[in-house]
Amino acid sequence: MSNRILVTGGAGFLGSHLCERLLSEGHEVICLDNFGSGQRDNIKELEKLSTFTVIDRDVRLTGSLPSVDRIYHLASRASPADFTDFPVNIALANTQGTQRLLDHSRACDARMVFASTSEVYGDPEVHPQPETYTGNVNIRGIRGCYDESKRFGETLTVAYQRKFDLDTRTVRIFNTYGPRMRPNDGRVIPTFVTQAVRGDDLTIYGDGEQTRSFCYVEDLIEGLVSLMRVEGPEYDVYNIGKENEHTIKELAQEVLNLTDTESGIVHEPLPEDDPSQRRPDISRAKAELNWEPEISLREGLNKTIEQFKRNMNSV
Ligand SMILES: NC(=O)c1ccc[n+]([C@@H]2O[C@H](COP(=O)([O-])OP(=O)(O)OC[C@H]3O[C@@H](n4cnc5c(N)ncnc54)[C@H](O)[C@@H]3O)[C@@H](O)[C@H]2O)c1
């Protein structure tokens, strides 16, 4: 069955891949985006389709929205590089923006998925992190605008669900990477790949022993779509991400190997509240959504490097 689907943040990295996937399945897609961190280029091919429309608007603002069957709320800057310059927009996109969409979901009886983040676990004291772990977040720190607003976005989503019996689901997305990330995004993979392709040294913050897990975008989108699709899920929040952990040092070495570059590695001091370890427990998603990631880090990095090289050559 084809649906009418609203994707907020649809011009961003994850949003544009999601819109593409939904359109390929025959759905009608409405993308709402203020083009803050999203780029028109990401959706230029989609704009040629009659089943795709764009609303150029901030998600915090009121204004009429079309009636839809499904809502994916992804609109929020997500890059740590933006936490200093856009703290208010980020905090409100995930709270006020989420409220607008919950109201809209109520008005048209639409199922909604709220894109939360592994950052709700802060600097975790439990490894790997299951959905039941309540987190360790510094609410006043530089990352608080993002971490805490996602936490409140989740609270609001649950409150609407309880009070109005809304069909809502929350996905806690762990580090995801792939083509269409902005080279200056500030997240580790686009930064390393850009540095390596340019022949610059790769910057590691701290000693590089901190670990992360990296999920390729195609796997992540499959997880999002599975969560939206499932009927009567047992839980209303799911971790989606890759279980394998890598140190930042290992990641840097892998990028150097795959780009065949002369670049080296330099170290800089760790930023405030940088978590030392982060890895999802995805047993819920495996059991309930029948989902798990399939693409290896090497395969995903190769696809990402290829697109970054193409883009940099075309500038
Ligand atoms: N990529 C990841 O690893 C990751 C991890 C955890 C959570 N997430 C979540 O997934 C979502 C998408 O992240 P992304 O990595 O694609 O980032 P992105 O910056 O590429 O995409 C965000 C999109 O939202 C739009 N946007 C931002 N604020 C807006 C506002 N106030 N009104 C309207 N549009 C607005 C941007 O223009 C952009 O198109 C975010 O909610 C983010 O928190 C992503």
DSSP secondary structure code for residue 105 in this structure: H
Domain ranges of the chain: 4-177+215-243+279-294
The pLDDT tens digits for 91-115 are 999 999 999 999 999 999 999 999 9
| Active-site pick, 72, 146, 160, 216 | 146
Is any ligand 1 atom within 6 A of the Cβ of residue 33? yes
132-157 mean pLDDT: 97
**Neighbour tally for 261: CB within 10 Å:** 17
Atom of ligand 1 nearest to the CA of 180: 20
How far from 172 is each of 30, 219, 222, CA to CA, in Å? 23, 14, 14
Is the pLDDT at 268 greater than 60? The verdict is: yes
Please report which confidence band the pLDDT of residue 288 belongs to, taking 50, 70 and 90 as the band edges. Answer: very high
Q: Token pair for residue 311? A: 């883009």
| Number of residues written out for the chain | 315
CB 282 within 8 A of CB 241: yes
pLDDT at 67: 98
How far from 188 is each of 12, 16, 25, 145, 213, CA to CA, in Å? 17, 20, 32, 20, 11
Please report which confidence band the pLDDT of residue 191 belongs to, taking 50, 70 and 90 as the band edges. Answer: very high
Is the pLDDT at 149 greater than 90? The verdict is: yes
Q: 235 an active-site residue?
A: no
Average per-residue pLDDT for the chain: 96
Burial class (CB in 10 A: 0-12, 13-18, 19+), 69: middle
pLDDT at 277: 80
pLDDT at 185: 87
The pLDDT tens digits for 57-94 are 999 998 899 999 999 999 999 998 899 999 999 999 99
Q: How far is the CA of 7 from the centre of ligand 1 (A)?
A: 11
Q: How far is the CA of 309 from the centre of ligand 1 (A)?
A: 23
The phi-psi region of residue 178 (left if phi > 0; otherwise alpha if psi is between -120 and 50; otherwise beta) is left
Is any ligand 1 atom within 6 A of the Cβ of residue 152? no
Is any ligand 1 atom within 6 A of the Cβ of residue 240? no
Q: How far is the CA of 78 from the centre of ligand 1 (A)?
A: 5
Is the pLDDT at 273 greater than 80? The verdict is: no
Is the pLDDT at 272 greater than 80? The verdict is: no
- For 139, list phi and psi in degrees, rounded to 5: -65, -20
pTM of this prediction? 0.97
Is any ligand 1 atom within 6 A of the Cβ of residue 213? no
pLDDT at 129: 95
E-assigned strand segments in the chain: 4-8, 28-33, 52-56, 70-73, 111-117, 168-173, 176-177, 202-205, 211-212, 215-216, 237-240, 246-247, 265-268
Domain 4-177+215-243+279-294 has CATH 3.40.50.720: yes
Q: What is the DSSP string of 159-194?
A: HHHHHH---EEEEEE--EE-TT--TTS-SHHHHHHH
Is any ligand 1 atom within 6 A of the Cβ of residue 149? no
What is the rounded CA–CA span in Å between residue 16 and residue 23?
11
Is any ligand 1 atom within 6 A of the Cβ of residue 37? yes
How far from 231 is each of 12, 111, 115, 197, 236, CA to CA, in Å? 28, 11, 18, 44, 11
CB 241 within 8 A of CB 118: yes
Pocket test for ligand 1, best of 34, 76, 121 (most atoms within 8 A of CB): 76
Q: How far is the CA of 98 from the centre of ligand 1 (A)?
A: 13
Atom of ligand 1 nearest to the CA of 215: 3
- Virtual torsion, Cα 124, 216, 211, 228, nearest 10 deg: 10
198-214 mean pLDDT: 94
Percent of the chain with pLDDT over 90: 91
pLDDT at 315: 57
What is the rounded CA–CA span in Å between residue 278 and residue 263?
27
